[in-house]
Amino acid sequence: MSRRVVRQSKFRHVFGQPVKADQMYEDIRVSKVTCDSSFCAVNPKFVAIIVESGGGGAFIVLPLAKTGRVDKNHPLVTGHTAPVLDIDWCPHNDNVIASASEDTTVMVWQIPDYVPVRNITEPVVTLEGHSKRVGIISWHPTARNILLSAGCDNLVILWNVGTGEMLLVLEDMHTDLIYNVGWNRNGSLLVTTCKDKKVRIIDPRKQQVVAVSAPAVSPPPSRCGSPLPLPA
């Protein structure tokens, strides 16, 4: 007679507990845009959240220590002419954040340590090169001032944000919409998921696809909370 072995979960007796009201951020009008992207980004100083905004796109930046009810007139970071779809803090400077939008542009912003009294409307640089909305941005993990963007035009573009220069364009590598892009640890390789159900590993310096998976039975995940796994 076979004996069934039941493996018990290590989290069987672990229970979550809601935080207190004074440790929450309340009354934030989070964006209702249905694009599958990160609506918030956090670094050691700030939390940034994409919010509803009339007449364009915007996000709010709050100091991590400033919890509680957020004033409805709190200044926003606003400059895009269409909804913001993705935001990402620079890993080398806690006061720099990039935003991508339906207006086909990417903007890079300098955030002051103090709370501004009015909206931040002037980006440090505006990056223009996509022909359709941009839903993915990601900073290079080791090289300063290098930012990646991917749009609905099936292009992946690498930028020098210090000069606003387009360093290279990875085109003709994806036959359909790009769902997600991630760097490996040292930034020498990229991994992408695509609507064609394939995962590609790309060497951006050689501008070559070095490996590609067979089509998955079901589509790869669009976006995930952590970077796509890729060996260093």
3-state SS record for 23-61: HCEECCCECCCCCCCCCEEECCCEEEEEECCCCCEEEEE
Average pLDDT over residues 53-61: 90
Average pLDDT over residues 142-169: 96
For the beta sheet containing 165-170, the strands, ordered from the edge strand earlier in sequence to the opposite edge, are: 134-139, 146-151, 156-160, 165-170
Half-sphere exposure of residue 232: CA atoms within 13 angstroms, side-chain side: 4
Domain assignment of residue 30, given as a range:
22-175
Residue 231 lies in a domain: no
**What percentage of the chain exceeds 70 in pLDDT?**
90
**pLDDT at res. 41:** 96
**pLDDT at res. 222:** 55
- At 112, list the tokens: 């002051």
Q: How confident is the model at residue 10 (pLDDT cuts 50, 70, 90)?
A: confident
pLDDT at 225 exceeding the cut of 50? no
pLDDT at 232 exceeding the cut of 70? no
Nearest Cα neighbor of 70 from 26, 20, 119, 23 is 26
Residue 60 lies in a domain: yes
Instruction: Indicate the number of domains in the chain.
Output: 1
Residue 205 lies in a domain: no
- At 49, list the tokens: 């959240």
Q: How confident is the model at residue 226 (pLDDT cuts 50, 70, 90)?
A: very low
**pLDDT at res. 2:** 59
Nearest Cα neighbor of 178 from 191, 158, 168, 192 is 192
Q: How confident is the model at residue 148 (pLDDT cuts 50, 70, 90)?
A: very high
**What percentage of the chain exceeds 90 in pLDDT?**
68
78 to 50, 61, 120, 129: CA distances (angstroms): 10, 11, 6, 20
**pLDDT at res. 224:** 44
The answer to whether 170 and 202 are in contact (CB under 8 A) is: yes
The overall average pLDDT reported for the chain is 88
The answer to whether 186 and 231 are in contact (CB under 8 A) is: no
Q: How confident is the model at residue 135 (pLDDT cuts 50, 70, 90)?
A: very high
**pLDDT at res. 214:** 76
pLDDT in tens, 177-215: 999 999 999 999 999 999 999 999 999 999 999 999 877
Give the domain CATH number at 109. Answer: 2.130.10.10
Residue 22, classed as helix, strand or coil, is helix
Residue 228, classed as helix, strand or coil, is coil
Distance, C-alpha 156 to centroid of its chain: 14
